[in-house]
A = this chain, B = another copy of it.
Amino acid sequence: MSSLDAVLARIDADLDASLDRLFELLRIPSISTDSAYAADSRRAAQWVAENLRGIGFDDASPRETGGHPAVVGHAPKPGKPHVLFYGHYDVQPVDPLSEWHVPPFEPRLITAEDGRRMIVARGACDDKGQLMTFVEACRAWKAVTGSLPIGITMLIEGAEESGSQFLPEFLEANRDDLGADVALVCDTGMWDPETPSINVSLRGMCYEEIVIRCADRDLHSGVFGGAAANPVRVLARIIADLHDADGRITLPGFYEGVHETPTQILDQWRALGLTEEAFLGIVGLKHSIGEKGRMLIEQIQSRPTCDVNGIWGGYAGEGTKTVIAGEAGAKISFRLVGDQDPAKVSQAFEAFVKARVPADCSVTFIHHKGSKAIQLPYDMPALTQARSALTDEWGKAPVMIGSGGSIPIVGDFKRTLGLDSLLIGFGLDDDRVHSPNEKYDLTSFHKGTRSWARVLAALAS
């Protein structure tokens, strides 16, 4: 039997051990946005490095970045193409903890009522489960053939969920060390449980935080109510004004650089027949509140958005408190497409906010990291090879779609290393990524590992 068949057989036989390894990683609470977990991030980096050293990446080790360490390791293969694989070992915060049915860092294999078996834990999908599909595929190739079919450099970072703040510098400083022909990224999803997909576009991001300060202290609404500015009301006005009645964003100049999707792609998307019931039904909703006159798939993939990710101000405890807060804040982010410039959006937002803050009040801005959207060339050779590999595994050609989420690193790869990125992932819409009870189907993990084994073979040919 061919090497590939032997490798696939090995993956099937080794599944339980593969799961044990994934669970070890999932038990480490490597939350990158919260500095209280910095030590756990280092533990996770050490774990990844040790694991890679065991499968041919002899020099794998955590590297200092200025933030959480990034793990880098090399397995060269002279005369063969060389790829840079990217994943991240950090995860999102777990709040609200009370909504978890199992402790977020005690992974379980659970069988759903419909018989689907799923791995439940923070990071089960995003991105520990996904990155381990590639690691386990490499492990099988190494075990069966003694080496990997192509040259691979591993880059597993620890701050993706907090904006990969230090990674651009790190890429810059290690440009030669990270050189490759193409990048492979496993941080995206399938079209549906039967249909693999390859992401050819990613929305960018502009993430802003504002704190409105009115009075210099909290006030009694009985004494000052009716006269004193209320920062929550100021925030509400700003947020309400950000969209018009048609769901379009009202920031002046916001749609500059937003291009229309080619008709033939729109036709392919239309053929997918994505309905509001199917997409929103999973999370208990029925109707899209998105931009009027656009297909749902456009609203979530190729159109820019604005959302409030958090708001706070005044008394949120039990019972009543007749207070007017001195200060209130919100986190507001924009998903960008085409050639929208995050810096311009950030400036437009700042002006938009300032115009709505009373003269005797003040506003503080935190401009979190922004990133441009990405569009990959449809004719990449690696893309063609990967499509046939995925077709072999799933018995169905992958759809070429856009991702609503942003993976800033892909832009950095292009800018700094000159690399296009092949975005292949096995997450599902109901994986509850970033939410309580995040899960990853056992099928995603198992067939995901098999898929990567096939992609490696295809890229070697």
- Residue numbers of A with Cβ under 8 A of B are 33-35, 92-93, 95-96, 99, 161-163, 189, 203, 205, 207, 209, 214-230, 232-233, 235-241, 243, 276, 279-280, 283-291, 296, 299-300, 303, 305, 307-326, 328-331, 333, 335, 358-361, 368-369, 403-406, 429, 432-437
The answer for the CA separation of A325 and B332 in the assembled complex, in Å, is 12
Residues of B within 8 A of A222 (CB): 203, 335, 403-406
**Given A286-B360, A310-B325, A358-B289, residue A218 in contact with residue B436 (CB < 8 A):** yes
Check if B230 sits within 8 Å of A162, measured CB to CB: no
Residue of chain B at shortest CB distance from A404: B222
The answer for the CA separation of A326 and B99 in the assembled complex, in Å, is 11
**Given A235-B236, A309-B324, A311-B232, residue A223 in contact with residue B316 (CB < 8 A):** no
The answer for the CA separation of A335 and B324 in the assembled complex, in Å, is 13
Partner of A220, one of B162, B318, B435: B435
Partner of A321, one of B93, B214, B285, B313: B93
The answer for the CA separation of A388 and B405 in the assembled complex, in Å, is 72
**Given A287-B358, A289-B228, residue A95 in contact with residue B333 (CB < 8 A):** no
**Given A34-B317, A300-B225, A308-B314, residue A215 in contact with residue B284 (CB < 8 A):** yes
Shortest distance between the CB of A231 and any CB in chain B (Å): 9
Residues of B within 8 A of A322 (CB): 205, 207, 309, 333, 405, 434
What are 14 A-B pairs at a CB distance below 8 A? A33-B320, A99-B217, A205-B322, A215-B285, A226-B300, A229-B289, A232-B330, A235-B236, A236-B237, A310-B317, A311-B312, A320-B331, A323-B434, A323-B435
Check if A92 sits within 8 Å of B33, measured CB to CB: no
Shortest distance between the CB of A176 and any CB in chain B (Å): 31
Shortest distance between the CB of A78 and any CB in chain B (Å): 39
The answer for the CA separation of A289 and B437 in the assembled complex, in Å, is 45
The answer for the CA separation of A309 and B225 in the assembled complex, in Å, is 10
**Given A228-B280, A279-B227, A299-B227, residue A316 in contact with residue B305 (CB < 8 A):** no
Check if A319 sits within 8 Å of B162, measured CB to CB: yes
The answer for the CA separation of A222 and B402 in the assembled complex, in Å, is 11
Partner of A434, one of B99, B218, B286, B299: B218
Shortest distance between the CB of A365 and any CB in chain B (Å): 14
New A-B pairs, 11, CB < 8 Å, besides A236-B239, A321-B434? A217-B436, A219-B434, A221-B333, A221-B405, A225-B300, A236-B308, A280-B360, A285-B360, A287-B360, A316-B331, A319-B368
